[in-house]
Chains A and B, each alone.
Chain A
């Protein structure tokens, strides 16, 4: 087993190698099977649900029902939840970028009083229990009429998106030698121009990755919309649960709702795979 050494890429066939391949396949069966099976379940019609496991005639009926496109009236407005998720996550990321990019740049380039305090306050948001903030926010939102609104959700999502964006971008800015901007200054550009023309194009991949990751986390958040929204601004993560409940749970619709909810984050994640490690660890590990 040469797998513990960096130089270990033996391609020779060995019995040991075969055993390891079996383990690899076993883990990935565990990791991927649920997604595949739920996808299959989401293609079953109601009467095939209980009769078969794998052999069945696929149908898009569950999707149509979930999205309210079929004639069967659907009590759960999942299409609206989907739009809500989109609006809240996009809005949260947009504001975090607007506010976080200059801040991350300042943290990376200047040493100033209070900079560390602010950075660690942001980091502590990452590890604080969500309810610690949600309970008072719940009370505040009732008063300010922000309960069950997009704006309310966007505001609390900052707890997720802002620390992520500031910390990741700071690590990308730190990777750039400051001499690039300095050179641009001496070449006759203002600081803002130097930032836009020189720095921004270079951190674009990192910026995109941070933004997408923040979007994914906002999208995937459950506890915030669960407590802070009602029927109006509810998101897919809360809405998908609704199909499970009720007197007659519809499992194929639940599966379809799950698949619809997991597609956006999954597609985005695959596009930023290279940047994930740094993003997931707030820049602590540079992957």
Chain B
């Protein structure tokens, strides 16, 4: 086995790469992605500039108007209404999805035959386009062909007008959001549950701890990081809600569901006030950014606390 002995002739130029070109290698690999990213960043930055201009779809000319868009928006009741609707929706949906999602995860974690079958189907609502899911629910809520009122009739609730009042409309969009996204929370929490170490639970069982004590003192603290990832994703996405609201009532009844994105859309596209609508988005973007920062710092602390358990 003396293969090594037969030396191959060596080409002195073979495999020679200057150290400069070696240094550029990672940049070369990321260059196409960088170009694409810049391609997305350009409209992004342009969007920022729009908010300081008075662009309208109807007119080709525009000028810089400083903070006047912001001024106008921040003194406009519609803006505070949109903020109110958005936060009501985001908080409502996130809270329900989180609580329900954790419950579903715990139910599935029992690993009975039933839960095994169901887990397979858990993701289905999550994978349907939100707009399609909304159309489906709209059909179910429809007074003549819809199934919901038919099924509620036996308990005396046969005549619900699902989207006619502001309160019911908010209830309905949150319900649809819950239907779509509860599996997201459940999936994450389930992954968290499966990664928990067994030893502390066995110790707790040996010491005769009740399930509620175990749940609040062991399970929940150790699950915090997973729950918070779920909460961050859900809350951020709810702040940008558009599809469900637009699909269900186009923001109605009246302006009852005009959250931030629907308001901005209405202003910018149908009404043609591009800069005005864009300013809404810049404000929403800042809100999302700040909220992310806050939630991530909370997440970091919770993770540290969980690590200390």
B-side interface size class: 35 or more
User: Which one of A64-72, A73-81, A132-140, A198-206 contacts B?
Assistant: A132-140
> Does A219 touch B at the CB level, under 8 Å?
yes
Q: Are B109 and A103 in contact (CB under 8 A)?
A: no
Q: Are A258 and B136 in contact (CB under 8 A)?
A: yes
- Interface residues in A4-23 by Cβ distance below 8 A to B read 4-11, 17, 20-21, 23
What 0/1 pattern do residues 200 to 230 of B give for CB contact below 8 A with A? 0110110000010011001100000010010
Q: Specify which of B25, B36, B136, B268 is in contact with A158 (CB 8 Å cutoff).
A: B36
- Interface residues in B96-150 by Cβ distance below 8 A to A read 100, 103-104, 106-112, 114-115, 118, 120-133, 135-140, 142, 144-145, 147, 150
Contacts of B129 in A (CB 8 A): 219-222, 237, 261-262, 265
Q: Are A131 and B36 in contact (CB under 8 A)?
A: no
Q: Are B128 and A131 in contact (CB under 8 A)?
A: no
> Does A246 touch B at the CB level, under 8 Å?
no
A-side interface size class: 35 or more
Q: Specify which of B29, B183, B184, B284 is in contact with A31 (CB 8 Å cutoff).
A: B183
Q: Are B292 and A127 in contact (CB under 8 A)?
A: yes
Q: Are A102 and B135 in contact (CB under 8 A)?
A: no
Q: Are B264 and A102 in contact (CB under 8 A)?
A: no
From B176, which residue of chain A is reached at the shortest CB distance?
Answer: A34
Q: Are A20 and B130 in contact (CB under 8 A)?
A: no
Contacts of A221 in B (CB 8 A): 129
What 0/1 pattern do residues 175 to 203 of B give for CB contact below 8 A with A? 00001001110011001111011100110
Contacts of A21 in B (CB 8 A): 112, 114
Contacts of A276 in B (CB 8 A): 123, 187
Residues of B with Cβ closer than 8 Å to A? 25-27, 29-30, 32-37, 39-41, 43-44, 46-47, 50, 55, 100, 103-104, 106-112, 114-115, 118, 120-133, 135-140, 142, 144-145, 147, 150, 179, 182-184, 187-188, 191-194, 196-198, 201-202, 204-205, 211, 214-215, 218-219, 226, 229, 233, 236, 239-240, 242-243, 246-247, 260-261, 264-265, 268-269, 274, 277-278, 280-282, 284-285, 288-289, 292
Q: Can you show 19 pairs from A to B with CB atoms below 8 A apart?
A: A5-B219, A6-B193, A10-B110, A17-B110, A31-B121, A34-B133, A50-B144, A53-B150, A99-B36, A115-B26, A130-B240, A132-B278, A133-B47, A136-B278, A220-B130, A265-B129, A268-B127, A269-B124, A273-B120
Residues of A with Cβ closer than 8 Å to B? 1-11, 17, 20-21, 23-25, 27-28, 30-32, 34-35, 37-38, 41, 49-50, 53, 95, 98-100, 102-103, 105-107, 109-110, 112, 115, 118, 121-122, 124-125, 127-133, 135-140, 155, 158-159, 162, 166, 216, 219-223, 226-227, 236-238, 240-241, 244, 251, 254-255, 258, 261-262, 265-266, 268-270, 273, 276-277, 280-281, 284-287
